[in-house]
Amino acid sequence: MASLLTQWTEAGLVGPLGHRFAQAMGRLAGESDGEVLLACALAAEAPLHGDVCLDFNALAAQLAARGEGHALPEDTPDPEAWRARVATSPLATGGGAPLVLSGGRLYLARYHQHQSRLAHAVAERAGRTLQPADPAALRLGLQALFPDAASATDGVDRQQLAALVACLHPFAVITGGPGTGKTTTVVRLLALLLGEARAGAMPWPPRIALLAPTGKAAARMTEAVRRQIASLPVDEAIRQALPTEAATLHRALGARPDRVKLRHDARNPLTADVVVVDEASMVDLAMMARLFDALRPGSRLILLGDRDQLASVEAGSVLGDLCAERERFSPAAATRIARYLGPLPQALVDPAGAPGVGDTTVNLVRTWRFDPGSDLGALAAAVNAGQPEPVLALLADPARKAISRAEPAPGDPVGGLRARAVAGYKPLATATDPAAALEALGHFRVLCAHRGGPLGVRAVGQRIERWLAQAGLIHPEAPFYAGRPVMVLRNDYAIGLFNGDVGVTLPGPEGPRVWFPQAHGDPRPIAPARLPPHETVYATTVHKAQGSEFEAVVVVCPEQPSALVTRELLYTGITRARRTVHLLAPAAVVTAGVRARVVRASGLRDALARIAGAHPR
C-alpha cells in the first residue's frame, strides 16, 4: 500500500501539488499508510477543483467532474474502511492536525473552519426574527412599492414576498434567473428598510453597503440601482438616503495585496447597518465566511443571485447550498408573513417544516427580460429541467428565430462562426466615438466553454481577429489598434479598473487610448502603458461573462463531451443573451452537458441541518 499515492499520481488522478503535500505531511506526522496519504493528497487538491473537501462516498463523481475518468481504479479503498483508517491517523487527530474528518468527508483544516464558521453564522441569523418598528407602515409600504401584487398569477407576488422576508429577518437570500427583478426588488426593499430606520429600527440614515464579487459586477449594480431609484414612489428624504455606489467585496473588507488577513473581521467589523451582496453565486466559501465574520451582530445581510448559474471559481457553492431545492416556509414563518400579505398558497408551506434557512429564502420565478414561452425563455427552461431532447428540438425548430445550433464542420470546427463574428463585431470595428464603440461592444459576444484548446478562448479569439483583419475592418499591425476590445485581468484600485472590466481602443491626438465605461458620466480614456494585465477579448469564457448581458451571443463548445460543459454552463451562456443565441456545438455535447450537473463536494448544507437539529426552535 505504500505506493498507492504514487500509483494514483502516475494515473493522473493526483496532481503534483497533492502528492508533495501528502508526502510532506506524512513525514511531519510520521504517517506512512498509503491509504491515508492518498486521502490527504485528494483533500489537498479538492479546492483546486472547486470542491471544499474529499467526499469518500462520492469520490467517483468528484473525479468524473474534473474530467479524470468515470471509473475509479481497481485499487480504490472501500469508503468505510478508508475513512476508518484516516480517523486514527495523526494527520486527522489532535488540535493542530492539518486535516479534519467530519462524517464521510475529509477537509483541509482551514476549509473546515470556514465551513463551520459560516454554517453557525448563517444558522444564527436565519433563526432570528425581527419585529418591525411600525407594522402598519410596513404593510402600507409593501402595497405602495409593489402595486402589482394583487395581479400575481399564483396568488403571491414573489418580489413583495422577498422584500417582506428580508424585513423580518437579519439575513435573507433572494434568488432568481436573469430578468426576474432582483435589483428592482432590493431597491424597493431598501426603501422599506429606510422607512423602518425612520421609525426607530436603525440609526437614521442607516449605513447601507452595496457589494459585488467583482469590479464589473459592482459597476453593473451601481448602474441598475441608480436606474431604479428615479422611479420609486417615495419621499425625497428616503430617495436621498438610498445608496448609489457599489463596491467590491474585497475592497469593502479591506483586502490588501501584501497580506492574507482582511482589515475588517469580527474584531473590526464593517460599520454598515445593511449589507447587500449581488451575484452571490460567484462568492466562494472562504470569502463568504469572512464576510459573515465582518458583520456587526445588529446588521442585516441580503444575498442576491441566480442559484442555477455557475458556482464560484474558487472552492464552494455557497448560494446553491443555501437555497433549498423546493421553496417552502415553516408554519411559523407562514403565520408571520400572513399578517402582512395574507395567507400563503399551500404549495409554499411545509406543515412539518422547522424554522431555518428556508424561511429566509425566496426564489423569483417571473422573468421580465423575456416571456417564459419565448424562444430564449423556453430554451433556458428546458436546459434547467435537464431535458436534452426538448433542448435539441427547440434549437432545430426553424420557427424559433432567436435560437439556433450548428454542428462544427469537419476539419474546420469554428468555420461556421466566421460570418456571425464578422457581422457581430463590424459595428465595434468601425465605431469612431468612444460611447458608440462601447455600446457596440455590448451587442455581441462569443462565449467559449474552454479557455485553452482549439475551441478555447485564445484560439477562437485569434481566429476572429484574423477574420476581421481579412475583411478590412481592423488593422492589427500595432498592439493597440483601432477597435481592439480589451479585458482587464487584475484589479487595480489606483486607477479604478477591475478584473473583468472591458474597454475599447481608439486612436487619439496623443496616441491610442483604451476607453472604459463609467457608472455615471462619459467613458474615460486610459493610456495603454497604465493598464493592468489585460488581453484582447473577442471571445471570453462563459465563467467570465457571468452577470453580463448582450443582444446576441454565440456559445462555442468543444467537439467532444467535456467535464466543463454542464447544465449550469449552458444555462449561464444562453441567458447572457437578450435577443438571440447560437450554439456551435455537436448534439452529443449538448446532450451530455444538459444531463451533467455541477456537483461540488461540500458539507455546508449538512452542517446547517445538524445545527438546526441540535437547536430546535
E strands of 177-268, at which residues? Answer: 208-212, 246-248
Only one residue has cell 459597476, namely: 219
Only one residue has cell 463548445, namely: 557
Q: What share of the chain is helix, strand, coil (3-state, %, to 5)?
A: 45, 15, 40
Please give the Cα distance from 588 to 578 (Å, whole number): 26
Please give the Cα distance from 567 to 323 (Å, whole number): 18
* pLDDT score for 333: 92
Chain center to CA of 371: 23
Only one residue has cell 449594480, namely: 221
Please give the Cα distance from 137 to 148 (Å, whole number): 18
Provide the greatest CA pair distance for the chain. Answer: 73
Please give the Cα distance from 387 to 354 (Å, whole number): 33
**Buried/exposed code over 582-607 (b: 16+ C-beta within 10 A; e: otherwise):** bbbbbeebbbbbbebebbbbbbbbbb
E strands of 393-458, at which residues? Answer: 403-406, 444-448
For residue 526, what are the β-bridge partners?
514
In the three-class reduction of DSSP (H, G, I as helix; E, B as strand; rest coil), residue 53 is classed as: coil
Please give the Cα distance from 236 to 248 (Å, whole number): 28
Helix ranges (DSSP H) in 284-327: 285-293, 318-322
Q: Which residues of the chain have pLDDT under 50?
A: 1-2, 68, 70, 616-617
DSSP H or E stretch at residue 48? none
**Buried/exposed code over 140-161 (b: 16+ C-beta within 10 A; e: otherwise):** ebbeebbeebeebeeebbbbbb
Query: What are the two backbone dihedrals, phi and then psi, of residue 406, each rounded to the nearest 5 degrees?
Result: -135, 145
Contact 124, 608 (CB under 8 A): no
Contact 269, 262 (CB under 8 A): no
Helix ranges (DSSP H) in 59-157: 59-65, 79-87, 109-126, 135-145
Side-by-side strand order, sheet with 534-536: 524-526, 513-516, 502-506, 485-488, 534-536
DSSP H or E stretch at residue 100? strand 99-102
Only one residue has cell 461573462, namely: 545
DSSP H or E stretch at residue 516? strand 513-516
For residue 552, what are the β-bridge partners?
444, 580
Query: What are the two backbone dihedrals, phi and then psi, of residue 579, each rounded to the nearest 5 degrees?
Result: -125, -50
DSSP H or E stretch at residue 146? none
The residue among 256, 257, 227, 218 whose CA lies nearest residue 496 is 218
Contact 253, 533 (CB under 8 A): no
DSSP H or E stretch at residue 243? none
Contact 169, 353 (CB under 8 A): no
* pLDDT score for 409: 83
Cis omega (within 30 of 0) for bond into 205: yes
Please give the Cα distance from 573 to 270 (Å, whole number): 35
Contact 167, 201 (CB under 8 A): no
Please give the Cα distance from 484 to 86 (Å, whole number): 54
C-alpha cell at 347: 404549495
The residue among 103, 142, 477 whose CA lies nearest residue 341 is 142
Please state the pTM of the whole predicted model. 0.85
Please give the Cα distance from 229 to 245 (Å, whole number): 12
Pair type for strands 534-536 and 485-488: antiparallel
